[in-house]
Structure 1
């Protein structure tokens, strides 16, 4: 079976461009509503996220958010079985509305300085909405791979909103090459737009193994009489771009782990 030829793509379609495109081509259904058009909580600095959210909330919701953030600041970390800010996470959808709940939860987690243990507890005890907020908050709170099990769990889920959040900046930073490739395939399988995949251009560039996997998937769909997703053609074009690492550096994700 002849594999599809890659069409020209723009390698610049990386994390910087995800914000503007996250609400088009069906991606909005996977990511869910956010605080403002073009705003993704994982990609927006908390100070900017709070400014935008404050402008959008009505008076009652804004007062509730201010109180919740004051409580999180006054009682950071974990205090007792359930900290006060964890209770506010559960209220965010009702108090701020579903459109703004993700951003509100990310701000509460950030203000509380939630560590890996607290984030893990909130993730596994929370609703799907709260789990998604944890995933969005990870790049603002952790620099190391301590929360990688949360990303791996989300990528096993059938909830496309969790999958979309899992392939954000934290997943791009810490998933090894093998797991990251399968995350890209998971997006294609489930219909999550690849605009959600942070750092897609850099990590896909020159990746022959990813190209092979994409080609196999395209062949399977063609043999079954099903169309090949345009997203697949786009990332396949990125894999055909020559990898040009800077002199003296090695890309830790460039080889199979």
Structure 2
């Protein structure tokens, strides 16, 4: 079983357990079945998920709520040839919660690099939740320059760097230089660097030395 398949299975199992024998569980099952059989229905179900599935955090799948899991599973139920266009349409017409769920779903979908425009859009926003979601596992598709800028924006906006997937592996000397320049700006303004960013800069500097 691949990573995306394991995540889908974990979300589905935990969602069923969390909503067990409730009207919400019945609605989720029906919506997922309908999305597979009639993909044109997904926009309605995607928008309704917050109200119909609820926003309960899912135990065992940190960082996911019932509505996010439902939306991700709806996207995963789309036929492969419609997944790319489907997620783009739902992202651009969705509210912040729907956008965040679409971004978190990207690693589960066989869309290749087709989801990159969504990441770039999220990174341009000033919504910390979207920025954090954009730097999940799918961010491996970002080129290094775009990825560094996104990490620096996390530091600027106070998004905890624990949200950045693969940070330890991808952080490099150029990112260290960018962080050092930002630290100097902060110091000149009498403001400290976030502790996680300062620790990352210290590690990168020591490794270079």
TM category (shorter chain) comes to: 0.7 to 0.9
Distance 1:239 1:176 in 2: 20
Partner of 1:139: 107
Partner of 1:51: 13
For the pair 1:198 / 2:175, whether they are aligned, the reply is no
**As a proportion of its length, which structure holds more helix?**
2
Tell me the alpha carbon deviations over residues 18-69 of structure 1, each in whole angstroms, 9 at most, x when there is no partner.
Answer: xxxxxxxxxxxxxxxxxxxxxxxx8961011110111111511111110011
Give the direction of change, closer, same or farther, for the CA distance of 1:44–1:212 in structure 2 (3 Å limit): farther
2:29 to 63, 66, 73: 66
State the TM-score, normalized to the length of structure 2: 0.86
Partner of 1:239: 204
Partner of 2:70: 104
For the pair 1:160 / 2:136, whether they are aligned, the reply is no
Distance 1:200 1:43 in 2: 23
1:53–1:103: 8 Å Cα contact kept in structure 2? yes
Gaps of 5+ in 1: 1-41, 77-82, 244-257
Distance 1:198 1:43 in 2: 18
Partner of 2:44: 87
2:76–2:83: 8 Å Cα contact kept in structure 1? no
2:83–2:110: 8 Å Cα contact kept in structure 1? yes
Give the direction of change, closer, same or farther, for the CA distance of 1:238–1:87 in structure 2 (3 Å limit): farther
Give the direction of change, closer, same or farther, for the CA distance of 1:165–1:181 in structure 2 (3 Å limit): same
Partner of 1:226: 191
SS in 2 for 1:45: helix
Distance 2:105 2:46 in 1: 12
* Superposed displacement of residue 240, structure 1: 4.0
SS in 2 for 1:106: helix
Tell me the alpha carbon deviations over residues 187-245 of structure 1, each in whole angstroms, 9 at most, x when there is no partner.
Answer: 111111111101111001xx1111100001111111111111111123224434759xx
How many residues are paired up? 193
Gaps of 5+ in 2: 57-65
Higher relative contact order (CA 8 A, sep 6+): 1
Partner of 1:209: 174
* Superposed displacement of residue 143, structure 1: 5.2
Tell me the alpha carbon deviations over residues 58-96 of structure 1, each in whole angstroms, 9 at most, x when there is no partner.
Answer: 5111111100111112124xxxxxx11221001100011
